[in-house]
Amino acid sequence: MKRLNISIIAFITLFFATASVKAQESQPLQLTLDQALEIALSESNTIKIADMTIEKTGYAKKGSYASLYPNVNVSSSYQRTLLKQVMVMDMGGQPMEIKVGRDNNINASASASMPLVNASLWESLKLSGMDVEMAVEQARSSKIAMVKQVKQAFYAVLLAQASHDVMSQVYENAQKNYEKTQQRFNVGKVSEVERLRAQVTMLNAEPNVSSAENAVLLATWQLKAVMGIALDTEVEVVGDLNDYTSALLAPYVSEDDLSNNSSLLQLDIQDRMLESTIRMQKKQYLPTLAANINYNYSAMGDEELRWFPSSTAALSLSIPVFDGFQKHYNIKQSKVTRNMLALQREDTERNLRIAIRNYNDQMALCIKNYQAANATVEIAQKSYDISAKMYEVGKATLVELNDAQLALQQAQLTQAQAVYNFMVTKASLDELIGKAE
């Protein structure tokens, strides 16, 4: 009996523990903007590829330094003579045949070589370091772009939710108005036309709610896709566009600093790489000096082998004299490429400054639109409340009430759209000036 009670208690404990785990698993992920950014920067394949690129170029840089170390090679060979070569010699007027060679031939050797003086090689190692620097900057650019995409997708969800809230409120108001109209119709205070108009208004508001729900779903899918998580993951976006009004209403300061712009920084790195390339090409005119040492151990014989060691050490000096002006024209090409890059950077900076000016103007316009919409919302809300009360007592028509409802709806959507436009534009501006937060 005691064992039975223990089994029952264990079963009940396991049942409730399993139910608790399933309940936790079924709960959607509460997602704030900071959490969305954190997940995207850790799960996105774009960021993973950028990090792998840095790792790859780091290995390439380390591999380039191998040319400074001795290059050591060991080799061996064995040769079995199947048919010896025959030499014919004239001995006292009589031909004599002599077999040359041994049945077994063994050879083992070790060699080492390294450059002692090679100016162009040393300059090329600097280029390898710049490759790593370029990969790091490109990875930073990918992260900045990812932050912008996540922010904009997150704001899009908030806008869709705000639109859904407005549409739901419109539908609820339409339902209440229809119920009141039906009650008044039942007591003969309104006509059949008035009742039907209220019913049509309610029915027309319902599809807008469904469309708004679908917009929220699509925006959430887009956010999950940008974050790099599975689309079937249940998430619940936490927040509201009103949470960002403080950023919109803060004292506005125009930003135009391009010192951290990734595109310009990458062009600067390319310019330094071309400069180093030109120096490397010029140093190819200089002599190079290399050292080489070789040790050889060989043996030959028919049945008994005899071993013979040998060794050499050498210095190799190479002086370039004439190559058909190849190096000269290579330098000319690199200089022209660098001049082209300078012009490209100038155009890029000019276009970026135009974009910054455009973003700043858009943000200033969003602030004005929000302030106007904010005042309009207050007036429209009062107008709707007054119209609703007047309609209840029969001093306003349903058309007037619907007009007040439509004005309030448009003002609320305009207000939400102004906040959304401001934050989306700010995210684009942050990417332009190189902010990764």
Enumerate residues 6+ apart whose C-beta is below 8 A from 143: 41, 47, 50, 436
Is the domain of 378 the same as that of 333?
yes
Cα 336 versus chain centre, distance: 32
- Residues 402 and 345 grouped into a single domain: yes
Q: Domains in the chain: how many in total?
A: 2
Decide which of 269, 302, 319 is a domain's last residue. Answer: 319
pTM over 0.85: no
Residues 297 and 107: their CA atoms lie apart, in Å, by 6
Q: How far is CA 289 from CA 114, 117, 409, 410, in A?
A: 9, 5, 82, 80
Does 8 map to a domain?
A: no
Q: Residue 308: beta bridge partners?
A: 298
From first to last of its 437 residues, what are the pLDDT tens digits of the chain? Answer: 444 444 444 445 444 444 443 434 457 788 899 899 898 888 888 888 888 988 888 888 888 888 888 899 999 999 888 887 877 777 777 777 777 777 888 999 999 998 988 888 888 888 888 999 999 999 999 999 999 999 999 999 999 999 999 889 888 888 888 888 888 788 877 788 888 888 888 888 889 999 999 999 999 999 999 988 888 889 889 888 888 888 888 776 667 788 899 999 999 999 999 999 999 999 999 999 999 999 999 988 877 888 889 999 999 999 999 888 999 999 999 999 999 999 999 999 999 999 999 999 999 999 999 999 888 888 888 988 888 888 777 777 777 888 888 888 888 899 999 999 999 999 999 999 988 76
Displacement of CA 9 from its chain's centroid (Å): 52
How many CB atoms within 10 Å of residue 91? 9
| 238 lies in the same domain as 275 | yes
Residue 124 and residue 238 in one domain: yes
Report if residue 17 sits inside a domain.
no
The DSSP line for 71-104 is: EEEEEEEEEE-SS-EEEEEEETTEEEEEEES-SE
Per-chain mean pLDDT for the chain: 85
Distance CA 149, CA 428 (A): 9
Query: What distance, in Å, lies between the first and last C-alpha atoms of the chain?
Result: 64
Which neighbouring-strand residues pair with 299? Answer: 106, 307
In angstroms, the CA 40 to CA 155 distance is 15
Q: For residue 90, give its domain range.
A: 71-112+290-319
CATH number of the domain enclosing 193: 1.20.1600.10
Kindly state whether residues 382 and 311 are assigned to the same domain: no
Question: Cβ(29)–Cβ(43) under 8 Å?
Answer: no
Tell the burial category of 384 from Cβ atoms under 10 Å away from its Cβ (0-12, 13-18, 19+): buried
Angle at CA of residue 243, ends 42 and 26, nearest 5°: 50
Cα–Cα dist 409/229, whole Å: 35
420 falls within a domain: yes
102/88 Cα distance (integer angstroms): 17
